[in-house]
């Protein structure tokens, strides 16, 4: 996973500012975030493969800064995220981190109300560009993947790993119906089409989002109907983890269909090592937990504007996972 200089500089600058100010504060008043309460939307279920590193990052930041952290879990359901935001506002915390899956329109009236109450709101995992532009000066930032670009990066890695060529058939199984979140799958489509592949699109339903194991029979059926399929791409982390199972049930050998996915669930890591998954986009979810807490503290204590950080630096293959092994075991990925 190659990390771009711009990302490193952004994160380093934020961390340096946070801890320098924190050290000064600690000398006289204790931890920089002491007395602050933050509600934080983690995304999936507690301890889920695509949720745990975000939990650990947020917990570590909260401990370092002295912030009281209140975690919320939604099984990736947009409507639940909206309801959780209402619940968080009712508690009148200092800060709320929201996931952008429901979209700008769904969150706009609630964010407006929270801003009037003096609550710092920021976003993670899926961006809310209109709200970020409107409230950046009040600390509304974004920490996560630049979705369309992440999809393109995944497609590029798939093409290279599978030696895919013009005319090859590919499936992109993505959350196309979820507005902004769908940009990641659209990026995969664009990247594959640019190389001349024939691309089929299949939408991931709310049911599959909640229970990704349901993706297996859907993918098996699609593979059986398309015997010349050469590639499958997705940008849903837990669906990625079930693709190897689908390939096995469809009677496919490792590498027979080139797979590009996202995140580092245990089954995904095993799939990469076994050759069923060629590459997986690493969002560095730990940063998606840590940095929004830092945003809360820096805005509340010093009035700093929202930061915008792209945490997805590239894709991981088998060789890279060997290097990342010790970090992955600690949940820092």
Residue 47's contacts (CB-CB under 8 Å, 6 or more residues apart) are 55
Nearest of 75, 76, 58 to residue 67 by alpha carbon? 58
pTM: predicted TM-score of the whole model, two decimal places: 0.88
Please check whether residue 164 is in contact with residue 139, taking contact to mean a CB–CB distance below 8 angstroms: no
pLDDT along the chain (333 residues), means of 10: 42 48 52 98 93 97 98 95 98 98 97 98 97 98 97 97 98 94 97 98 95 97 98 97 98 98 96 97 96 98 97 90 91 89
Label residue 46 left, alpha or beta by phi (over 0 means left) and psi (-120 to 50 means alpha): beta
Nearest of 128, 125, 124 to residue 111 by alpha carbon? 128
- What pLDDT does residue 18 have? 52
3-state secondary structure of 221: helix
Residue appearing with tokens 């952008």: 100
Distances 283 to 55, 113, 200 between C-alpha atoms, Å: 14, 31, 25
């Amino acid at each position: 996973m190659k990390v771009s200089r711009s990302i490193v500089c952004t994160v380093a600058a934020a961390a340096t500012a946070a801890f320098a100010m924190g050290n000064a504060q600690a000398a006289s008043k204790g931890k920089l975030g002491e007395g602050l309460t933050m509600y934080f939307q983690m995304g999936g279920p507690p301890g889920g493969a695509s949720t745990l590193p975000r939990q650990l990052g947020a917990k570590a930041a909260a401990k370092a800064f002295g912030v009281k952290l209140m975690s919320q879990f939604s099984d990736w359901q947009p409507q639940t995220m909206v309801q959780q935001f209402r619940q968080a506002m009712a508690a009148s915390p200092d800060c709320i981190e929201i996931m952008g899956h429901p979209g700008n329109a769904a969150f706009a009236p609630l964010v407006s109300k929270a801003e009037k109450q003096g609550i710092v709101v920021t976003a993670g995992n899926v961006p809310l560009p209109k709200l970020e532009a409107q409230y950046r000066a009040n600390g509304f930032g974004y920490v996560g993947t630049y979705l369309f670009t992440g999809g393109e990066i995944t497609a590029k890695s798939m093409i290279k790993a599978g030696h895919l060529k013009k005319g090859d058939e590919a499936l992109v199984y993505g959350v196309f119906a979820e507005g902004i979140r769908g940009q990641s799958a659209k990026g995969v489509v664009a990247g594959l089409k640019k190389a001349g592949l024939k691309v089929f699109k299949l939408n991931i339903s709310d049911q599959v989002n909640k229970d990704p194991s349901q993706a297996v029979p859907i993918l098996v059926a699609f593979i059986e109907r398309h015997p010349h399929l050469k590639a499958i791409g997705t940008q849903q982390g837990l669906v990625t983890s079930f693709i190897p199972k689908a390939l096995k049930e469809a009677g496919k050998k490792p590498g027979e269909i080139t797979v590009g996915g996202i995140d580092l669930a245990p089954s995904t890591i095993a799939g990469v090592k076994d050759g069923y998954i060629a590459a997986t986009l690493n969002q560095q979810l730990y940063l998606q937990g840590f940095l929004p807490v830092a945003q809360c503290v820096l805005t509340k204590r010093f009035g700093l504007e929202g930061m915008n950080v792209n945490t997805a630096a590239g894709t991981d293959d088998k060789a890279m996972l060997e290097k990342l092994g010790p970090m992955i075991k600690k949940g820092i990925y």
